[in-house]
Homo-oligomer: A and B are copies of this chain.
Amino acid sequence: MIEIMIDLQGGGKAPLYDKIYKHIRNEIADGRILKGEKLPSTRLLARNLAVSRSTVELAYDQLLAEGYIEAEPCRGFFVCDVAELYRLGVRNPSGSEKEKPQPRECWKVDFSPYAVDTADFPYNAWRKINRNILLDDSEELLLAGDGQGEYELRSAIAGYLHQARGVNCKASDIIVGAGNEYLEILLSQLLPPHQSVLMENPGYPQAYRTFCNVGYRVMGVAAGSMGEEEARRHNPDLIYIMPSHQFPVGTVMPLGRRLELMKWASEAENRYLIEDDHDSEYRYRGKPIPSLQSNDRQGKVVYLGTFSKSIAPSLRISYMVLPPKLMEQYRSRCGFYSTTVPRMQQEILREFIQTGQFERHLNKMRGIYRGRHDFLLGELKKCSWVRHVSGEHAGLHLLVQADTALSEEEVCRLAAERGVRVSGISQYRFGDPVEKTQEERFPVLLLGYGKLGEQEIRQGVELIGEVIEGYCSHRTLHSLQSP
């Protein structure tokens, strides 16, 4: 039996049992007490240290629980074999390193197509609902709740989707989730593995990358050309489309094409169309384009939508409408997943929709975005470097083809040097680069106006103009000087 000497005066104000526990633990870990050695009995150690026996018992209990020692009935406590293993490897020295958060990017004008207006968020309404909900001390709201999302919220979403997007669905067809990517990942668990998916190119990069991450083979067709012919040529399992407003090109899929795809999907059991209706709320001319799902009579469309664009990106609430067969799969395979959306957020959103405040907010935002859209169009009309504008009348960005010999990358880089963030359409391409036609050599820029005021829009367009025209005059000058 070993003898144990512990300095119970040092080590600050820690409880006595803790000092005993730590001392013995360190002796074992450092190999000073060897495996198989017998510890003194609790009675003996208590007497030697002049502490109560229960203090030593507490220390031994902890050593037992963590596996430093083991008890043998009627024989006492013995040291386990841990020291040698303990000395394996080297401690990772990065643990104590000081970190700083990433500095935020700072742009004079940010034409990001993903940006949304935040200044007009309905703070007061949101605060009021929030306060009322928390006022109740409702225990119900603390429990995990329904994995699909609360029934009442799904019911409110079903009502909105039916009225605004013509979607045929009941609350039980909807799954509420923390963002489209999460829902796409969830969807992949309802389908056989290793699906192939066809999508338009350029397309929505997040969808492309999510499909790659779940092990899908992603094939592309030129944006605007998706239809029966391409479907039959590539023969995918799934087709991912944004029929009401393709991102980033901004085209609307004509009804004929939609019905062709629906027919194609109906010809085999496991074919589905994934309709991402991401910014369908914002259309500034005529009526909303009905969803593809509204034409679905055979359970072939998976419909995805989000509140990121219509309320706020930080809300993290999206929804997926599943056809009956996939909903069956969800119930049997994924019904055990807890929801990914906090119950209080669900409750706030439900109230916001059911009291009509969501619709009022949408109408207000539609007006604000229409104003920015029209103003940007007006500014672009004045510019001689603009060859062509497309993707207008909907969404939160438009496309501008620029008349310049600069490449897209050069325009974006030079604009960034002037404090303007702008992206070119090639950044939304996936897969191997394609040979560009003469026409396609002109840069196509995405100008998102979601969060820009008129002054910023004007300044941004001017600065891009300076980049393009500055280059022209520089080149002209250069060519004049060196004939």
Q: Give residues in A with beta carbon < 8 Å to B.
A: 18, 21, 58, 61-62, 65-68, 70, 80-82, 85-86, 88-92, 94-95, 97, 99, 101-102, 114, 118-119, 121, 123, 126-127, 130-131, 134-135, 137, 139, 141-146, 151-152, 155, 168-172, 178-179, 181-182, 185, 189, 193, 205-206, 209-210, 213-215, 252-260, 262-263, 266, 285-287, 289-290, 295-299, 308, 312-317, 324, 333-334, 336-345
Copies in the complex: 2
- The contact of A18 among B80, B134, B259, B287, by CB within 8 Å, is B287
> When the two chains form the complex, which single residue of B256, B333, B345 contacts A67, counting CB atoms closer than 8 Å?
B256
Chain B residues near A97: list those with CB within 8 A.
170
- A137 proximity list for chain B (CB < 8 A): 121, 123
> In the complex the two chains form, what is the Cα distance from A149 to B391 in whole Å?
33
Question: A313 with B178: in contact, given A18-B287, A134-B130 (CB under 8 Å)?
Answer: no
How many whole Å from A331's CB to the nearest CB in chain B? 12
Shortest beta-carbon distance, A118 to chain B, in Å? 4
Residues in chain B near residue A257, CB distance under 8 A: 67
Q: Are B253 and A297 in contact (CB under 8 A)?
A: no
Bound-complex Cα distance A309 to B129 (A):
26
Asked if B182 contacts A65 (CB within 8 A), the reply is: no
Q: Across the interface, which residues of B come within 8 angstroms of A193, CB to CB?
A: 215
CB proximity of A275 to chain B, nearest CB, Å: 15
Residues of chain B within 8 A of A58, CB atoms compared: 286
Identify A314's interface contact among B65, B82, B145, B178, CB under 8 A: B145
B286 touches A62 (CB 8 A): yes
Cross-chain contact A88 with B130 (CB below 8 angstroms): no
Q: Which residue of B lies closest to A300 (CB)?
A: B89
Closest chain B residue, CB of each to CB of A258: B67
Report chain B residues within 8 Å CB of A206: 336-337
Complex partner residue of A297 from B88, B139, B142, CB under 8 angstroms: B88
Nearest neighbor of A68 in chain B, beta-carbon distance:
B255
Rounded to whole angstroms, the CA-CA distance of A18 and B286 in the bound complex is 9
For the complex with contacts A130-B134, A145-B314, A316-B341, 8 further pairs of A-B residues with Cβ separation under 8 Å are A18-B287, A58-B286, A88-B263, A92-B297, A123-B134, A142-B314, A144-B314, A178-B340
Contact between A259 and B297 (Cβ–Cβ < 8 Å)? no
Chain B residue numbers with a CB within 8 Å of A95 are 168-170
Give the chain B neighbours of A155 by CB distance below 8 A. Answer: 99
- The answer to whether A67 and B181 have CB atoms under 8 Å apart is no
Identify A316's interface contact among B62, B127, B340, CB under 8 A.
B340
CB neighbours of A18 from chain B (8 A): 287
Establish whether residues B344 and A67, one from each chain, have CB atoms under 8 Å apart when the complex forms.
no
Residue pairs across A and B with Cβ atoms less than 8 A apart, 19 shown, are A62-B286, A65-B286, A65-B289, A80-B254, A89-B262, A92-B297, A95-B168, A101-B151, A102-B151, A114-B144, A118-B139, A121-B137, A130-B134, A144-B308, A179-B340, A189-B213, A206-B336, A316-B339, A316-B342
Identity of the chain B residue whose Cβ is nearest the Cβ of A206 in the assembled complex: B336
Q: Which of A68, A101, A127, A296 has the most CB of B within 10 A?
A: A101
**In the complex the two chains form, what is the Cα distance from A57 to B142 in whole Å?**
54
**A209 to B266 alpha-carbon distance, docked (Å):** 31
Min distance, Cβ A117 to any Cβ of chain B, angstroms: 9
Q: What's the Cα separation between A210 and B338 when bound, in Å? A: 11
* Contact between chains at B314 and A66 (CB < 8 Å): no
Q: Complex formed: what's the CA distance from A323 to B39 in Å?
A: 37
CA distance A67 to B155 in the complex (A): 31
Give the contacting residue for A141; candidates B182, B263, B297, B314; CB below 8 A. B314
Give, as a whole number of angstroms, the nearest-CB distance from A98 to chain B: 9
Nearest CB in chain B to that of A58: its residue: B286
- Asked whether A67 lies within 8 Å of B253 as measured between CB atoms, the reply is yes
A456 CB → nearest B CB, Å: 15
